[in-house]
Amino acid sequence: MADQKYNERILIDTTSCQEPGEAEHDPTQKRVSHKRGFWDFLKLIFSFGLKNSFKNVFYRPSRKQYRTPEDLKPVVTPHRFSSSDGLVLSGWMLHDTTDGETSGTVIQFHGCCHNMTFDAHQVEWLTGWGFDVFMFDYRGYGESEGAPCREGVHDDSLAALRYLRSLDEVDSDRLFVLGQSLGGCIGLSALCDDELEGVRAIAVDGTFGSYRALVNSKMLNTRLTYPLASLIVDDELAPIERVEKISPVPLAFFHGERDNVIPFKLGNQLYESAGEPKVFYPVADAKHMRTFTEFGDQTRPLLVEFFKSHLP
């Protein structure tokens, strides 16, 4: 059994927020031995991918509560709001911990794994730099009702933006966005469909713009395999072709140069597709989702400076 374990790899590991080889075991994921060869790989893709369109393979939600509001330094206010189809979603407002005037409110779009209580450490630090932070869970994550799908998660993101603007405690003219991993893709897509009212600046971290390109990167990553990737997943609601619509709202792109989950070149392709003004921050030696944690000393001041430089 041990030999078998180490002779296998996850071929389409778009659902993992960990580095390849570090993914948690998931019996629903399709695995194949190195010994089986390329034709078995094709059979695997066609038998699973074409039947399911791979639309929902990008989501790995958890109902577990990893942190409670009492575990965090800032005061946390729980929120409940509805998506367009009536599903009730869960959110947290993390309040500014400084004594000065709050600079604005950052809405976070988290990645594919776990839920917002797991990712709180990614954004909690912003409250010490003068920001409120609004976190929320897409459908099927945490305490949010339903099950995730691309169209549903898109609608949830639009609902979160509109709900945030409706809150009396929020200055709707001082909104900022941080999307991480899959959340960057989701958030940018929602912002392309939203009116961007009050959004002063947007940052994404370790993200991508094309679902097809991401799936292809997990195969042989060649022009020959891209048509196969196009067969098994579509680019509906992908921001790569629409991100120009966000201009002139400023965009910042952070990406770890050692990111093996979302390849660095996919982040760069999304950056190239965006309109001005924009800035790209490559983070040397950083792996996936380590930008604002392990490398926070160099990246956190950059993000805060980027946001505050675009205050109204």
Residue extents of the structural domains in the chain: 2-59, 61-308
> Which residues touch 164 (CB under 8 Å, ≥6 apart)?
105, 107, 134, 170, 172, 175
Residue with tokens 């000393």: 297
**pTM for this predicted structure:** 0.84
Across the chain, mean pLDDT equals 85
- pLDDT value at residue 215: 82
Sign of the CA dihedral running 30, 31, 32, 38: positive
Q: What is the mean pLDDT of residues 250-260?
A: 97
CA atoms of 239 and 274, how far apart (whole Å): 9
Q: What is the mean pLDDT of residues 233-252?
A: 94
Higher pLDDT, 47 or 23: 47
For the stretch 17-29, pLDDT in tens is 544 334 332 322 3
- pLDDT value at residue 220: 62
> Which residues touch 91 (CB under 8 Å, ≥6 apart)?
78, 79, 80, 81, 116, 134, 135, 136, 137, 160, 163
3-state SS assignment for residue 105 = strand
pLDDT at position 14 over 80? no
- pLDDT value at residue 13: 35
Q: Name the CATH superfamily for 61-308.
A: Alpha/Beta hydrolase fold, catalytic domain (3.40.50.1820)
